[in-house]
Amino acid sequence: MMKKTQFHLGQSFIAITAAVVLGILLAFYSLVLLWPQGNPYSSVKVTIPKGASLKEVSAHLQDHNVIRNERSFLLAVKTLGYEKDIPAGRFKLVKAETNFDVINQLVNGIQLNKRVTILEGWTIAMIAQELEIKLGIDSELFENACKNKLLLWKWGFEGDTFEGYLFPETYRFSEDEDPQDMIKRMVEEFEENFTEDLKVRMEELGMTMTEVITLASIIEGEAIYNRERPVIAGVYHNRLKQGMRLQADPTIQYIVEDGPRRLLNKDLKIDSPYNTYLNYGLPPGPINNPGIESIKAALYPAETEYLYFVARGDGYHTFSRTKEEHTKAKREFQEFRRKARRQKTIKG
């Protein structure tokens, strides 16, 4: 009988101990999650940077007075298991007074950002137009920010604009985002993609950053298919070595006011440092914002004897070693274009 009583007492003790421990855990859990952070705003907009660590997120929130007790916030995030689940983006927090309010709205709330895709080969003007269409950002305001001399100096760029360094990618921007912050994100993406290995290769070729990106932008303007980019790069490297004019049509498209369009002979005579039909060497700066494949092609050109190329009409090009071969290829392309026009007229 004594043993049974002791057994039941033992069970009761274990149950009471478990209940106490559970109660303590629940109290601790509630205390951490419901810890008041003293957020003075009824609503506040916050931006979580791309790639930010949990520690960086909490520091950012503290800097903006969203939280005051960083330690309790970090503990609450870890308690909920959201260490790696706080997404980058722009958020509106409404009455986020406790740790749970802040965390829940960051993880499960609606982002204020919109997806904006910047395509390879777009100019600053084209990017500005896309931002105006998607976000209502004043295109002129963005273009002016891209010419901000202080901002260019801060990033260490030698040119007059950020043309060439706004990396093509899909971004999330908010409608009230500052143009300078947008530029910062695009340039950071560029710097992340222009790796140390590419910088070493640049030095091996004896090229400057401006020269690499300028050549890459011309390649971007010429090529549609990735497999042709190194070959086109090889042609331009060969012409530069031999002291020939580049005669690159994309540089003319950059300076015509109503482009892009079919170029006329008079366009090739436009007085501009970007006119590679009149001037030798590379133009003074990039003519668009090239993607990584064109940048790599500029740094790793194909070893070839080609000095010329002309469009074939299907997105590819015919490459030639001599002027005679090039003239023949141009005649073939012109004949192809005439046939295409006739067929279009018949169908019409």
Tens of pLDDT, residue by residue over 62-79, are 888 888 888 888 888 888
More confident residue, 11 or 189: 189
> Would you give the distance in Å from CA 236 to the centre of its chain?
26
Round the average pLDDT of the chain to a whole number and report it: 87
Q: In which residue are the tokens 């993406």 written?
A: 189
Averaged pLDDT, 212-222? 98
Cα 308 to Cα 80: distance, rounded to the nearest angstrom: 62
Residue 84 CB partners (closer than 8 Å, separation 6+): 54
Express each pLDDT in 84-139 by its tens digit. Answer: 888 888 888 888 888 788 888 888 877 788 899 999 999 999 999 999 999 999 99
Separation in Å, CA 214 to CA 49, 257, 274: 30, 20, 11
Question: Is pLDDT above 60 for 3?
Answer: no
pLDDT at 292 over 70: yes
For position 1, what pLDDT does the model report? 53
Contact by Cβ (8 Å): 167, 184: no
On the question of pLDDT at 20 being above 50, the answer is no
Place 233 in a pLDDT band, splitting at 50, 70 and 90: very high
Q: Which domains does the chain have, with CATH numbers?
A: 43-108 (3.30.1490.480), 114-193 (3.30.1490), 196-304 (no CATH)
- Tell me which DSSP letter residue 103 carries: H
More confident residue, 15 or 333: 333
- CA 270 – CA 277 distance, rounded (Å): 9
Residues paired with 36 in a beta bridge: 98
Residue 166 binned pLDDT confidence (cut-offs 50, 70, 90):
very high
Q: Which of 286, 284, 281 is nearest to 214 (CA)?
A: 286
Q: Which amino acid is at 239?
A: R
CA distances from 313 to 92, 310, 337 (A): 50, 9, 8
**Is the pLDDT higher at 13 or at 33?**
33
Confirm if 98 and 33 have CB atoms less than 8 A apart.
yes
pLDDT confidence of residue 114:
87
pLDDT (0 to 100) of residue 25: 47
- pLDDT classification of 23: cutoffs 50, 70, 90: very low
Q: Which residue has the higher pLDDT, 61 or 50?
A: 61
The per-residue DSSP string of 255-278 comes to H-TT-SS---GGGGG---TT-TTT
Q: How many CB atoms lie within 10 A of CB 343?
A: 10
Q: What is the pLDDT of residue 30?
A: 57
Residue 31 has φ and ψ, to the nearest 5°, of -60, -45
Cis peptide before 87 (omega within 30 of 0): no
